[in-house]
Amino acid sequence: MSLEPVQVMSGQVAELPKVAPSSNGDSGGSWEGKREFDKDHLGLTAKPKPPKPENAVTVAVSSRVLFRTEREQKVFEQKGVEEYLRYQIEHENEPFAPGPAFPFVKALEAVNARLRELYPQSEELFDIVLVTYNHAHVGIRLINTINHHNLFIERFCMTGGSSPIGYLKAWQTNLYLSADANKVREALTEGIAAATMFMPEKMTEVSKSQLRVAFDGDAVLFSDESERIFKAHGLDKFFEHEKENEDRLLDHGPLKGFLEALGKLQKKFYAKGQRLDCPIRTYLVTARSAASSGIRALKTLRAWGLEIDEALFLAGAPKGPMLEKIRPHIYFDDQMFHVEGAAEMGTIAAHVPYGIAQKHNSKHNTSAGK
């Protein structure tokens, strides 16, 4: 199976369903009972204010991964920008259907609702920024869609075709999700955690009460140091290297900061005695072997002061079946082989184009260090 960013695995664009009132995220769904509202100075019901960027965990999401825009993208590619803008304006009262990042964003909002219940005055929350290359004319349709799905997204960044990376830095972005692999690479180069999202042919149902985020190890949470040893010298040398260096910490990878941000919010629930009922759960899903190379990964996380709720050392076994059991809202991996395997099982997977594996990425690749 070959994945394209936010492409349907089978079927045609024309077959995309219209958004029905009962679709995920609509006003009748179970998420809406968690929405918190405040009173303004006149006593009128108002939405909560978005947090200041310096206090928040900021997640920037492209409109092409938050919503299904394949039909519109096809108009742009075949007929050009002017026809594309006309089409968007003509259809601005038709909401987009949910895309691959939609369940993830909904889970972020559910966590925020719990945090507001426990800490009404705190701004340590997730803040979602919608990022799009679109012209401002398309903003009306995006706003209509956000309101239709009852999402709380107040911050928009519509760049009119320009690169959004400078704006991401200004927002102090903790994670950027996009369908554009080139922009993801640009963000990673600038030190921003980023990944390319894909639309699986099928989507596994995910938890509506607990955010679940799964990470690969090498070249995602950790650097690609050990992966380079494996690629250059083989499995035996990799095991030897890890044994000799098990007390030397791995360097950080591109997603380490996002795991750190998740851990900071988790601790706010722990402080209220809700460790066992925490709405954030994290997973390490790695092809490393526990006995021969797992100890260095665990020592590194401990030295960083980071907790991972569950660690799965698969010793080279396929990740797809384990991810199907976990049912994460998102899984990050640097190898397309594993991204495709996850997608085949219905998992929303995101590719982190970082490290030595990008020179070897193909469907037939396997890795001991991952």
CA dihedral sign, ordered 171, 175, 176, 181: positive
> Counting runs of H as helices and runs of E as strands, what totals does the chain give?
13, 14
Q: What is the pLDDT of residues 319-349, one digit of tens each?
A: 999 999 999 999 999 999 899 989 988 999 9
Structure tokens at 96: 């987009």
Strand partners, 215: 284, 332
pLDDT at 98 over 80: yes
Non-local (6+) Cβ contacts of 97 within 8 A are 16, 17, 18, 19, 23, 67, 68
Structure tokens at 282: 């994290």
Q: What is the mean pLDDT of residues 139-155?
A: 95
Return left, alpha or beta for 268; rule: phi > 0 is left, psi -120 to 50 is alpha, else beta: alpha
Structure confidence at residue 232 as a pLDDT band (50, 70, 90)? confident
Q: Considering only 40-54, 72-86, 163-177, 281-295, which range has the smallest mean pLDDT?
A: 40-54
State the catalytic residue, choosing from 127, 180, 216, 334.
216
216 catalytic? Reply is yes
Structure tokens at 274: 């809700």
Any idea which residue has 């972005």 for tokens?
173
Structure tokens at 30: 């179970």
Amino acid symbol at 163? S
Are 35 and 113 a contacting pair, CB within 8 Å?
yes
CA dihedral sign, ordered 308, 314, 319, 322: negative
pLDDT at 361 over 90: no
Q: What is the pTM of this model?
A: 0.84
Measured from the Cβ of residue 101, the count of other Cβ atoms closer than 10 Å reads 28
Strand partners, 351: 196, 333
pLDDT at 12 over 90: no
Q: What is the mean pLDDT of residues 41-55?
A: 69
Q: What is the pLDDT of residues 102-140, one digit of tens each?
A: 999 999 999 999 999 999 999 999 999 999 888 888 899
Percent of the chain with pLDDT over 70: 84
Residue with the bigger pLDDT between 225 and 299: it is 299
CA dihedral sign, ordered 243, 245, 248, 252: negative
